């Protein structure tokens, strides 16, 4: 399991980034962001004494590679990277090399080799803090951008205002998800909500059903081979990746949905 708290040995991290064949300038930018955890490109530029546009280009490229994530607050883009991102990036690099190796062995293309070599062992990742939870929601959008999934199943909260400062981000997430044509089925507790659904234009692809339970401050969300577990009360989240577990949860959810 990848934990969200660790003390960096920056000398060791520099060696790791160099071993991953990043350039000296890229290593410098990555180390600066790792130290800040969250920062604008201009701040990293000042720390590294590099032009802002150069730093922005490097950070954007890191984002495309999955080494960093970004979020917009108050109209300003912040880039985020901590040891979770680095650990995840290394894990993805291992998977990529394994796909290439399997491609060599089987004669299949690397993309086909990926589908035929999905590990049976669950992958569990733990996140905390508002930026960590935003990273989890961003990972959902990444799945939808790939075009493979078009459904969202979940047990969620009644009031987005109770998500410890994430309300603005989540409302933006809902609009982006809807724009990708995602169909949402969501259970919430009995009683009112602050989803602001007044007509089809504000529904954002959501179909809501109410359960005879008290209001919750946590959520369970299902997408593809992933199960997302959120505690907005504690500001923590867990992502589990496993096809068998996710498949079982989806079947159970669909059965529950037809019965309510």
Do residue 157 and residue 74 come from a single domain? no
pLDDT at res. 115? 46
Q: Identify any residues that bridge with 155 across adjacent strands, giving them in sequence order.
A: 187, 220
The yes-or-no verdict on residue 257 having pLDDT over 60 is yes
At 62-100, the pLDDT tens digits run 988 889 988 777 778 899 888 778 888 888 888 788 778
Do residue 93 and residue 184 come from a single domain? no
pLDDT at res. 62? 92
Do residue 75 and residue 101 come from a single domain? no
Instruction: Count the domains in the chain.
Output: 3
Question: Are the CB atoms for 245 and 227 separated by under 8 Å?
Answer: yes
Please, how many CA atoms are within 13 Å of residue 102, restricted to the half-sphere of its CB? Answer: 17
Do residue 131 and residue 231 come from a single domain? yes
Start-end of H helices in the chain: 10-19, 24-36, 41-48, 52-65, 83-106, 110-115, 129-145, 167-179, 200-203, 243-259
pLDDT at res. 2? 39
Q: In what order do the strands lie in the sheet with 236-241?
A: 123-128, 236-241, 226-231, 218-223, 151-155, 183-189, 206-211
Average pLDDT, the chain: 87
Name the residue with higher pLDDT: 124 or 221. 221
On whether residue 5 sits in a domain, the answer given is no
On whether residue 253 sits in a domain, the answer given is yes
Identify the burial level of 21 via C-beta atoms within 10 angstroms of its C-beta, where 0-12 means exposed, 13-18 middle and 19 or more buried: exposed
- What residues make up the domain containing 18? 10-81
On whether residue 176 sits in a domain, the answer given is yes
The yes-or-no verdict on residue 42 having pLDDT over 70 is yes
What is the share, in percent, of the chain residues with pLDDT greater than 70? Answer: 89
């Amino acid at each position: 399991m990848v934990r969200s708290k660790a003390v960096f040995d920056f000398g060791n991290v520099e060696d790791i980034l160099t071993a991953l064949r990043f350039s000296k300038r890229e290593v410098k930018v990555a180390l600066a962001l790792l130290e800040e955890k969250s920062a604008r490109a201009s701040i990293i530029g000042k720390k590294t004494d590099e032009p802002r546009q150069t730093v922005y280009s490097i950070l954007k490229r890191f984002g495309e590679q999955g080494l960093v994530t970004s979020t917009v607050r108050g109209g300003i883009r912040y880039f985020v990277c901590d040891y979770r991102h680095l650990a995840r990036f290394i894990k993805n690099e291992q998977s990529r090399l394994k796909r290439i190796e399997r491609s060599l062995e089987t004669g299949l293309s690397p993309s086909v080799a990926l589908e035929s070599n999905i590990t049976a062992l669950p992958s569990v990742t733990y996140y905390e803090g508002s930026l960590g939870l935003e990273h989890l929601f961003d990972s959902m959008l990444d799945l939808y951008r790939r075009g493979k999934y078009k459904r969202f199943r979940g047990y969620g909260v009644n009031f987005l205002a109770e998500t410890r400062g994430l309300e603005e981000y989540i409302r933006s997430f809902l609009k982006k998800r809807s724009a990708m044509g995602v169909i949402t089925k969501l259970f919430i507790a009995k009683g009112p909500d602050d989803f602001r659904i007044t007509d089809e234009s504000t529904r954002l692809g959501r179909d809501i059903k109410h359960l005879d339970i008290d209001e919750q401050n946590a959520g369970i969300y299902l997408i593809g081979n992933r199960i997302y577990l959120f505690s907005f009360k504690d500001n923590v989240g867990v992502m589990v990746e496993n096809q068998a577990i996710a498949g079982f949860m989806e079947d159970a959810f669909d059965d529950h949905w037809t019965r309510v």
